[in-house]
Every structure is written in C-alpha cells, then in structure tokens.
Structure 1
Amino acid sequence: MNQMPQFLRRCSGAALVSLVALLGAGSVSAHAQVASKFDQAVASEVLVKLRSTADLQPLLARFPLTLASQFGARPIYRLKVIGAAAVNDVLAGLALEPGVMLAEANASHASPEARRNVPWAIGTATDYVEQWAPQSMRLAQAQTLSNGAGIRVAVLDTGIDASHPMLAGRLLPGFDFVDFDTDPAEVPGGASYGHGTHVAGLIAMAAPGASIVPMRVLDADGVGNAWVLAEALLRAVDPDGNPATDDGAQVINLSLGSLNRTKLLGTIQLIATCGDPVLGDPVADLSDPGYADDRARCAAASTGTVVVVAAGNDGSRSIKQYPAAESVYGVIPVGATGSNGFMAGFSNYGSWIDVAAPGGGITSLAAGGGYATWSGTSMAAPLVAGTVALLRAREPGLTPRAVAERIRKSGATVCGRVSQVQVNAMAALTDRLPAPLNCSLTQTSGFTSSSRLR
C-alpha cells in the first residue's frame, strides 16, 4: 500500500480537500499529463516564490528539497527534489505553506514551430527584400520617421549566427543560458537550427537602426525551460546587475512558449515591464527587500521593457500559449496573418490576442549565411518587436503599457475578425487610424509548401 509522504501527513483532511479544489485543473495535474518533450517539466525540480527570503530555510528543513539557485536577492528559487519524493507530492505540500506564494514545476518551453514540426523552405535575398510583409505593415513609410536607432532588442531563442552578413554591426554581446557561456551562437544538428537567426533577421528588417542582443535559451531542438527563460529575461533588462545603469533592452522578443502555465514568468514579466506590484498577490507581490534593485531600476529608467511574445501555432481559440497569455500590461501576445489579410489558419486566436502581424510564408536570414522561408507566430512576433523598436526610438517616454495600447489601437482590423488587428507601423508612429486591409476572397492556412523543405 502506498503511504502518504511524511511532509503531507501533517495536512488536515479539510486542507487536503481545499488543495484539490484549488489545484483541480492547475499546474500539478497539467504536468502529470505531459504528451511530449515539448510539454514535459525538468525532472526533480520545482520553482518557488516565497513571501520572504526568511521563509527558505524552514521550508528546506521540512521538505525533501535542496537549493539549486536563486534570483539574486529575490525570494525566488529553483529547488531540487531529493530522495524518492514525487514532484507532484512536493508541490501539493508546498501549496499549503503560508510562506509560499507560488510553487510550480519547471515547465519546458519551445518554439511553436518545433512543437508543430513546421519546416522551413530555402529562400533568397530577393525574397527577403521584396516579400509581402513589410508593405502590408507599412514599414517603409514608418522607417522614414524612425529606424529604431538607440534601441536594444533582446532575442531569447536558439541563438543567432553572428557571422551572417546581414547582421554585421547590428549585434551586441549576449549570453548562452543553455551552455552558460558568453557565446550565444546557433548550435547545428537540431530541428530548430536557425530559428533565432530567422527571428533576428526580421527584427533587423523592421528596425534597421536597432541593436540586437542574442540570448540563447533554447537548444538546437527548440526546447528550453521556465527557469532558463526567467534568468534570461532578467539579464536582458539589467545585464550588469546595476539598476542605475541604463544598459537593458527596451524590447524583448519571445518566439517561444509552453502549453503549461508557469505563473512565476508572470512575476518576471511584471519586473521587466516595470508593472504595478500588488501586495499579497501571488504573481504581483514584490514587497520583499530582495526586489529593491528592480524598484530602483524602474525608478531610474521611468519606463520598463516591452515584451513581445508569439501566441502559438495550434490554430485554436481555446489553447493558450504561455507566457504570451499571462495578461501583464506591456506584454504583447502576437498572432499571425496571411498575405490575404485573414488570420493564418495555424495561428492561435481569441480574446487574449489583440495583435497580429504577417506570419505566413515569411523570408528571413538562415544560419550559415543564406535565407529561409518559414511560417508561424514566431515570424509575426519579431515584426511587432521591430515596430515597437521604431516607436520607442521616436517616443522614448512611452511606458510599456502605453506602447502596447498604441500598437493595438493603430492596427487594421484583421479580415473576418473583430477582436484582432494587424500592426500598421506607420499608423503606430503617427498615432493615427490605419487604412483597412485589402481582404481577399479566400482564407488559407498560411503555411508554405515547397519541394525543397528541410
């Protein structure tokens, strides 16, 4: 007969009933039903956000846990489950602790194209320059007003091929959080090789004057995890760890996500965007002294970082991809449109996605010096990130929330939709209503087909 773990035996029956009600369809059960490597959690790891750093040692004394790492002075920790204890049992016990605000598995995150096994086709330099997306977004007109100069855009992805000629002079030093070194280059051999370079090429197209900061958080198969992503987000907004130094990215692009929610990433996004903390809220409470540097950085900069996130390629209204769906002000979830003005058939959609951008058959840079045509919300997101860079260079005083609102209200209504708009860069920079999209008669999937698929 299986025995209840010792750290759960002390819970009253009423408390356990309450726990079931709280967790019913939550993170614990979600991680118990993983379907693939893209949805699995890191084995024997839990992520916790405590009310205070003083709560850590008593917790380690009562639970089969050991400290793996901490976010600086913040009461946020990655803990290793030791012995024979099951992660779900540990999470269940932690959920009942008064000093624990969040306790979650370390969920895997992946590029949407890796998750859906979307290959790329060989493209050309001509395709890159003459494709439909820039015209549809009025990028050329917007670039007469701003080219993004002075703006740093962090790309958290599979790395970037710094040797590509089109990226010469555009990259700043970055970091590799997979191998934990200072070389965030693409690593060949996996299905997602070149994904980060493709994303970077679209930012360079949209905002040619902006600088790009490569952060490798996904391996060559396009897979990472929540803790690595959180580490990279915080480094992107404050690379030197000095809140008085204005060296962070003003825009972050995340062409990745997970079907399993990690609320801790909501906290990290709130820190990045300099959002308003809420005392007692599990996600938004930043009252511990460990967050002092975050408060100082936001006070010094007066504005935070805009985070642009791909919404996912499940073609679904009901499926949400995180952290895009975290509903943090200053975070922009991005769906994809096709060249006909409709939402691309592969793109997620729904009330949690206000903004879309071209994502069907998009040509950009390929690792190794060439060009590739790919389809996905991963392609739409960097076009929005580039537009945000143009806007932030032109109006640096706008807060992330104000930027997100400007991008939304200046977009053209997507054909056949009432709640999604396609970004119009010129309208965003001039704060005007856009011209409507030219809607064609047919709606297609938006995926490319080619006899030269990789």
Structure 2
Amino acid sequence: MAARTLVRRLAVPSLLAVGVTLLAPPPGTLPRALAQDCAQQATGEELPDNAGAHPLVGQLGLRQSWDLADGTGVTVGVLDSGVDGAHPDLAGAVARGAEFTVVPEEREFVRTAPRVQDDCPGHGTAVAGVIAAGRGQGDRMTGVAPGASVYPVRIADGVDRATPGTLAAAVDDAVAADVDVLNLSFAYPVDAEPLRDAVARAVGAGVLVVAAAGNEGTGADEETPMYPAAYDGVLTVGAVGEDGQPLESSNAGEWVDLAGYGQELAVLAPGGGYRVEAGTSFATAQVSGAAALVLSRFPELPAEEVAERLTASATPVGGGHGARTGAGIVDPFAALTHLEGEAAEGSDEAAARPGHIPVRPLPEGPPPLGATAATALAWTGGLLLAVVLGLLGAPAVRRAARRGWRAGPSPAERAAAAPAPPAPRPPRLEWLRGTPPTTDRPQPRNRTR
C-alpha cells in the first residue's frame, strides 16, 4: 500500500480575520450551487489479503479493553474535512452532522447538512475511523472505540482555510449536538479569540475537548504554543513512533498532556478503501477513542476526571513527563481499570465518584473485644499452652524419675547400654587350625634302629 501523507500546512493570514458572528443560520440556507465539488478526491486501496491485526490492537491493548467497554453510548464530534458515513467500516456509526462554508459576506459562513459521503481530502474520514471504525475480520481494521458514534462537523473549504469565526461556530454546533468528546485534529500558531471562547464554552458545557499538538516539530525552548491545543481545559496530544519514542515532528511544550502513536498507520479512505497516514492528528483520535471507552464504562464521569484518568494511567516515556509526550502514551486498559486515591483528608466530598474506587483507611475505633473478653481469651490461651507443654514433657519427666533426678542415664539404662564382653579366644595356633587343643592325645616317640 503506498503511503499518501496528507499535507496540512496552515494558512496563517486567514487566521487573522475575526468572525463577526458566531450564530449559524438554520440548516438549508446555503444554495447548493455554493457547495463546490472536490477539486481532488482522496481515494484508497484494498487491504492486503495477508494483513494481520491492525497495529493499534496490540500497541494499545485494545482486546483487553473491549472486554470492559467498546464505546457504546458515547458520541464523539469530529470537526474536520468531513466523514464518509457510507464507508462500510463506519456503517451505522455516523450521524448526519453539519457543514460550514465560508462566504464573502458579513455573516462570514453558512451552515448546511452535508451529504453523507462528503470528504474531499479524506482527513476527517481517517480520523473518524481511528476513533470508531467497526471491527473487521481478524481486526485488520478497527477503531479504538468500535461501539462509539461520530458526529461530523465538516469545514467545506478546509480547516486550514476557515476563519476563526467559522471554526468557533463549528465547535458550538458540536456542543449543541450533545457530543461527549470533541476531536480537534488541527493546530494553529495563532490565538484567535472566537475559537478560544468557543472552546471555553465547550469545556464549560462538560465536553472533553481533545486537540492535536501539531506536526511542525517545534521545541520546548521555542515557546511556540499551538491552538486550540494550548487553551485551558483542552487535553493535548503529541505523537510517538512505533518504538514508543517521541516523534521529532510532534510539537513540544508544557501544554502537551499525553501521546498516542503517530507512525504510519492504515486508515479509512473515502469511497470504501484504505490508505496510510501519520502524525499527531491520528494520535489525537486514539486518545478520543480511549476517552469514549472510559465514558462508556463510567457514563457519569465528568470530563475533567476522564482527562485525569487518561493522564494518570498513561505509560511514561523516558521515565517521566516529556515536552513532546506529556504524561506518556495513552493506555486504554489502564485508564479503564485505574484506581483513584481517596478524597483529601477533611474533605466534605467523601462519597465515591463515578468510576472512583476508594482506598479505605484502617479503622481507628476501639478494639473489637472488650477488656473482660480479652482477659478471658488470654487465660484460655495460657491454659491450652500449659496442657500442650505438659503432654510434650511427660516422657522426659518419667526418665528423670527413674535415674533419681540425676543428670545422665540411670544405672539400669547404663547396664542395658553397656556392650557385651568378647568371647575368649583359643590359643593362637589352634585357633588358626580351627581345632581346640588337647592334652590326652599320645605323643609320638623317637625310634632308633
């Protein structure tokens, strides 16, 4: 499969234009003639027949996570280039959503309902697939949260060419659609007030906003924050390679919270195929999917606590907090099983929160037994010990009595233990012959002739 890396350079001049309104007109007010067809439509290919499970299945431990939650009941907003809801791997997972088009008028943009398959560059479809694609045969293609739903907010002219007011209205639209998580896989080097205010409204409404750190390769010492990643309350995602080390292309900064895998990955392409993409956009989608898993298991968990759970359970890179990776690589299973500590001592919020498993302190009350019961138990234990010692020592007492309470064995015991005297030996020569000596045998005489 050939790698077709999506080039998304930011058009900074367009960011300097401030929108005059954040209120989108009702759906259907944009003449269809204003909606331009794609100048170039991204396409994909089929996956190889011998393709194994998608790399993220092993890297993120997804099968273990799916035993606990799959994202069912959670909606993730994807503010991007659109989502091809007709893709087989997204069947039934994509809502109709909204589409925003910039117009050269005072109102700045108009809002319509997009066609279900509209996504010219394919970036939004790829992001949505990483979040919520259904599990295919052998998990060759799957999203992190295959049970989640996607609400697409399409920027018809491209996110990099949209005005801040248009982006702000798109964020407001997703919040109004009651999304639980909002995925913003784009980054600007300019702090635009309309977008900042819209993100603040989303955070205030209880939406977990997840944003990409960007792929410009800025260093921590350059002090170049990217937006909306650096806004307060946003969960910002950097990228690591397949070896778990930070990608040099991933922007660095104190505002980076955690990381996902940003190496080249097979992703969904408009029209039903697949292609290869890389970067912080797709690392961000992994974190959005992990957040959907946590909310699926703990639906009452507030957004800030979901973010805390994801960062507290992340796998550190290099042994600690990193400028490109934050707390570390997202770990969905660890986030689903993370045990939070008890509330601070003296806090009035002693009740357990949703998804919170408290560690209970040792009791500090009186002992379970009263003084009388404890004394009786001690005497009983002492008597039992005396009986046992008496039974074990009885044989030794009897032996001591037999020897007159003197140390050592008794005379009878010494006699019994004494060795038997040896049998007398016959005279040496006879003993050698084996016959006893005799004195009455006639002795031979010397004869002379």
- TM-score tier after normalising by the smaller chain length: 0.5 to 0.7
Cα deviation code 1:261-299 (max 9, x no counterpart): 11332322221122xxxxxxxxxxxxxxxxxxxxxxx5x
Match of 2:243 in 1: 340
- What is the distance in 2 between the residues matched to 1:130 and 1:352? 33
- What is the distance in 1 between the residues matched to 2:265 and 2:43? 10
| Secondary structure at the counterpart of residue 391 of structure 1 | helix
- 1:361 and 1:374 in contact (8 A); partners too: yes
- What is the distance in 1 between the residues matched to 2:45 and 2:245? 25
**Post-superposition offset of 1:154:** 0.7
Match of 2:67 in 1: 144
- 2:84 and 2:125 in contact (8 A); partners too: yes
The structure that has the greater radius of gyration is 2
Match of 2:336 in 1: 429
**Post-superposition offset of 1:361:** 0.8
Where do 1:268-279 residues align within 5 Å?
Answer: 268-274=198-204
Match of 1:11 in 2: none
Alpha-carbon spacing, 1:134–1:127, altered in 2? closer, same or farther (3 Å): farther
* 2:291 is aligned with 1:353: no
Amino acid at match of 1:272: A
Normalised to the residue count of structure 1, the TM-score between the two structures is 0.59
- What is the distance in 1 between the residues matched to 2:117 and 2:51? 20
Cα deviation code 1:357-394 (max 9, x no counterpart): 01111111011111011111011111110100010111
Q: Identity rate of aligned residues, in percent?
A: 35
| Secondary structure at the counterpart of residue 367 of structure 1 | coil
Match of 2:92 in 1: 169
- What is the distance in 2 between the residues matched to 1:126 and 1:414? 35
Q: Any stretches of 5+ residues in structure 1 without a counterpart?
A: 1-35, 48-67, 73-118, 240-247, 275-297, 299-303, 434-454
Where do 1:265-414 residues align within 5 Å?
Answer: 265-274=195-204, 298=205, 304-317=206-219, 318=222, 319-326=224-231, 328-329=232-233, 331-414=234-317
Q: Any stretches of 5+ residues in structure 2 without a counterpart?
A: 1-8, 25-41, 102-109, 133-142, 341-449
- What is the distance in 1 between the residues matched to 2:263 and 2:338? 27
Amino acid at match of 2:314: G
**Post-superposition offset of 1:180:** 2.6
**Post-superposition offset of 1:132:** 2.2
| Secondary structure at the counterpart of residue 304 of structure 2 | helix
- What is the distance in 2 between the residues matched to 1:238 and 1:188? 22
Cα deviation code 1:221-266 (max 9, x no counterpart): 8532221111111111113xxxxxxxx0001101112111113323
**Post-superposition offset of 1:143:** 1.1
Where do 1:20-31 residues align within 5 Å?
Answer: none
Where do 1:221-260 residues align within 5 Å?
Answer: 222-239=160-177, 248-260=178-190
Alpha-carbon spacing, 1:423–1:203, altered in 2? closer, same or farther (3 Å): same
Match of 1:206 in 2: 144
- What is the distance in 2 between the residues matched to 1:199 and 1:374? 10
- What is the distance in 1 between the residues matched to 2:90 and 2:225? 33
- What is the distance in 2 between the residues matched to 1:426 and 1:237? 27
Count of equivalent residues: 291
Identify which range, 406-415 or 311-320, moves more after superposition. 311-320
| Secondary structure at the counterpart of residue 12 of structure 2 | coil
- What is the distance in 1 between the residues matched to 2:288 and 2:157? 22
Match of 1:183 in 2: 114
- 2:230 and 2:255 in contact (8 A); partners too: yes
| Secondary structure at the counterpart of residue 40 of structure 1 | helix
* 2:60 is aligned with 1:153: no
Where do 1:7-46 residues align within 5 Å?
Answer: 38-41=11-14, 45-46=17-18
Amino acid at match of 1:431: H
Identify which range, 148-157 or 225-234, moves more after superposition. 225-234
Match of 2:157 in 1: 219
- 1:363 and 1:372 in contact (8 A); partners too: yes
- 1:341 and 1:414 in contact (8 A); partners too: yes
Across the aligned residues of Structure 1 and Structure 2, the Cα RMSD in angstroms comes to: 2.7
**Post-superposition offset of 1:137:** 1.6
- What is the distance in 2 between the residues matched to 1:127 and 1:256? 33
Identify which range, 179-188 or 395-404, moves more after superposition. 179-188
Cα deviation code 1:47-97 (max 9, x no counterpart): 4xxxxxxxxxxxxxxxxxxxx53448xxxxxxxxxxxxxxxxxxxxxxxxx
Where do 1:76-87 residues align within 5 Å?
Answer: none
